[in-house]
Structure 1
Amino acid sequence: MIKKRIWIGCLLIASVISTGCNQQNAAAATPKVESAKSSDAAALRDSTPVVLQPEAPGTNTIGNEKASIDISNITKGYIVVSYKGNNEKVRFQVQYESEDPYTYRLNSFEDAVFPLTRGDGNYKFTVYENVSGDEYATAFEGKSEVTLENEFLPFLYPNQYVKYDQDTQAVALGQKLVKEATDDLDALAKIYDYVVGNIDYDYDKAENVASGYLPVIDQVLDEKKGICFDYAAVMTCMLRTQRIPTQLVVGYSGTVYHAWISVYIDGVGWIHDIIRFDGKEWVRMDPTLASTNKKAEKTVENSGNYRAMYYY
């Protein structure tokens, strides 16, 4: 039995972001990623949502009596993990190559979807059970080499941090919000404006949020309030189901821990930090800068030395 102390870095994201926000003022299975913009500049983009749903068919699994990891669709950028033991404190780590691992919570007999956001390469998957205090013992460890069908797929599927399905009301709302959008950047602006303008910051929730908190997207929309993690999850859901590859990123701006959103726009590439929380408020990059990748990258470089830690 291997025992180790686990630093639950990813599990602190909700609480760290929420405290940083206290100063806030308020279709195919493997789709080709391309903008819906028409050759006619006055035309509207197609706002039909595409909701990709993770599956666990069990055709290719690794595991033991304690845990099962379904890697049947690993080429689509996700795995499905099920813990079958009775330990109340279970952690799951995903490690890409020699990078720091991502750490997640696992609940008994509940399938959880985890993204493989670092792209092609070798991944190690480890399930840990709590022994006492912050000591954990390895319940299962396995490895797999990953070659993605499409580099954007991890950022188009739902997962444990951005959880939704075709019945999630945010999907239909996102379609409604962007029905008059002319291109993907316009769609992003309309989604951003709605979320920031209609969801109030929940100070009480921020003060009392538990470690390991995960957003419930429709609950946030119903209550019209939330913490920064909630804002980011709602926007990511709407953007992904509008066929816009979206990264929910957590990292540092200088010494401040915060979140931001990056998107892929056809003909432009990845626009990093297009929507970010700067410690005081959510802000969106000027669309003129966003439309040219070089200018956008330069803006990001000069706006706080952002250092990404985790991609979801």
Structure 2
Amino acid sequence: MKEKRTLTLRLIAYSLCLCLFTGCGGNQASKGTATEGTSSSPTNKEGTSANSVTGTRDNTPQCLIPLADGTAETHNDYASIDYSHSEEGYIMACYTGSCPKVKMQITGSDSVTYTYDLVSDGYESFPLSAGNGAYEITILENVSGTSYAVCLVADIEVALTNEFGPYLYPNQYCNFNSSSNVVSKAAELAESANTDLDVVTNIYNYVITNITYDYKKAETVPSGYTSDVDNILSSGTGICLDYAAVMTSMLRSQRIPTRLEVGYAGDVYHAWISTYITDVGWVNGIVEFDGTSWVLMDPTFASNTSEKELKNFIGDGSNYLVKYIY
């Protein structure tokens, strides 16, 4: 029984549900089939090759760099919105005024409004998660309490040249670069891989083995919290948004399109990831690959819940709802 459970964990891939506060959940899984994809290089509990074998897949990191070129932008004396590279799936924004509490809202063609805190002195990157179409981007300054006044607005039309762009670049929710420790660790974990599936399996095994859930942090996490992925990696503790941000950063740096998703499982708020599989497409939700087919699964619930209760909750995936994609 123990050997079967270990094998199952090693085959879980492409979508990890991680709890933002307590419990765990995900969105409905896309089902597909594959004739290959099991890890060809056995991994130890650290996620590295047990035989120290170099795989056939190139594990060279690729860290895309968001730019604010100023070739297409809107600004005033207090803020700037740069959309010079909107076709690649992101915009840049910065605030240089004196207001201590500043927010930015992005509303795309899907009518979903994303609200961010602008906390950096320089430009920050934000994904255009709705894909192609019209966007309204608004920077707001706090007046008092929960009241905000409009500081700057940009209305843009987006036509992506790469549909995966929003899910390959770093952004405020998964902030990494070529000097990040998560990037070098991902390259190390990918060294033995022959396929993208091997990479996801190795990274998954490493994260679930080396990062523990921080219940105290979950009880006190502030609104607008985002992860410091290198700090999570070094501390070895975090909440589900931290798990998801670390995995997203690692996978994107290995050229694997990954969506950091936030939403609900039942009435509990969660964060998880979905990734793109060549020839299959986006695999959404909680997915286990058994060597032949994709099966809906929730690894965090599985560690605390009976198999019967787990299957009853997951059902057809209708308990899972994606609210935001970063």
TM-score after normalising by structure 1: 0.80
1:66 Cα deviation from its structure 2 partner: 2.1
Partner SS for 2:243: helix
Partner of 1:19: 21
2:125 is equivalent to residue 129 of structure 1 = no
Partner of 2:10: none
Q: Deviations over 1:109-153 (max 9, x none)?
A: 321110101110100000111111111111111100000110001
Partner of 1:184: 196
CA contact 1:245–1:264 (8 Å) conserved in 2? yes
2:262 and 2:216 map into 1 onto residues whose CA distance is: 22
2:260 is equivalent to residue 231 of structure 1 = no
Partner of 2:179: 167
Q: Find runs of 4+ consecutive structure 1 residues off by over 4 angstroms.
A: none
Partner of 1:279: none
1:193 is matched by which residue type in structure 2?
A: N
Partner of 2:113: 101
The farther-off stretch of 254-263 and 116-125 is 254-263
C-alpha spacing 1:56/1:223, structure 2 compared with 1 (3 Å): same
2:260 is equivalent to residue 258 of structure 1 = no
2:312 is equivalent to residue 310 of structure 1 = no
After TM superposition, the structure 1 = structure 2 runs for residues 145-156 of structure 1, keeping only pairs within 5 Å, are: 145-156=157-168
Partner of 1:6: none
CA contact 1:86–1:108 (8 Å) conserved in 2? no
2:86 is matched by which residue type in structure 1?
A: I
Q: Deviations over 1:82-117 (max 9, x none)?
A: 112111111100001251310000136321110101
Q: Deviations over 1:279-307 (max 9, x none)?
A: xxxxxx22137x757x669x987145321
2:155 and 2:19 map into 1 onto residues whose CA distance is: 31
1:219 and 1:255 map into 2 onto residues whose CA distance is: 30
CA contact 2:109–2:130 (8 Å) conserved in 1? no
| Structure 1: stretches of 5+ with no match in the other structure | 1-15, 23-36, 275-284
Partner SS for 1:139: strand
1:182 Cα deviation from its structure 2 partner: 2.2
C-alpha RMSD of the superposition: 2.6
The farther-off stretch of 172-181 and 252-261 is 252-261
C-alpha spacing 1:260/1:163, structure 2 compared with 1 (3 Å): same
- Which of 1 and 2 has higher RCO (CA within 8 Å, sep 6+)? 2
C-alpha spacing 1:301/1:49, structure 2 compared with 1 (3 Å): farther
Partner SS for 1:49: coil
C-alpha spacing 1:186/1:90, structure 2 compared with 1 (3 Å): same
1:286 is matched by which residue type in structure 2?
A: E
2:166 and 2:172 map into 1 onto residues whose CA distance is: 12
1:173 is matched by which residue type in structure 2?
A: K
CA contact 1:171–1:238 (8 Å) conserved in 2? yes
1:200 and 1:249 map into 2 onto residues whose CA distance is: 20
2:97 is matched by which residue type in structure 1?
A: G
Q: Deviations over 1:209-241 (max 9, x none)?
A: 222221111111111111111111110011111
1:17 and 1:87 map into 2 onto residues whose CA distance is: 33
| Structure 2: stretches of 5+ with no match in the other structure | 1-17, 25-35, 42-54, 298-310
Q: Deviations over 1:165-195 (max 9, x none)?
A: 0000111111111211221112111101100
1:114 and 1:76 map into 2 onto residues whose CA distance is: 11
2:139 is matched by which residue type in structure 1?
A: V
Partner SS for 2:198: helix
1:180 and 1:199 map into 2 onto residues whose CA distance is: 21
2:262 and 2:159 map into 1 onto residues whose CA distance is: 25
Partner SS for 2:290: helix
2:88 is equivalent to residue 60 of structure 1 = no
1:306 is matched by which residue type in structure 2?
A: Y
Partner SS for 1:273: coil
CA contact 2:19–2:272 (8 Å) conserved in 1? no
The percent of aligned pairs where both chains have the same amino acid is 44
C-alpha spacing 1:213/1:193, structure 2 compared with 1 (3 Å): same
Partner of 1:25: none
1:240 and 1:93 map into 2 onto residues whose CA distance is: 24
TM-score after normalising by structure 2: 0.76
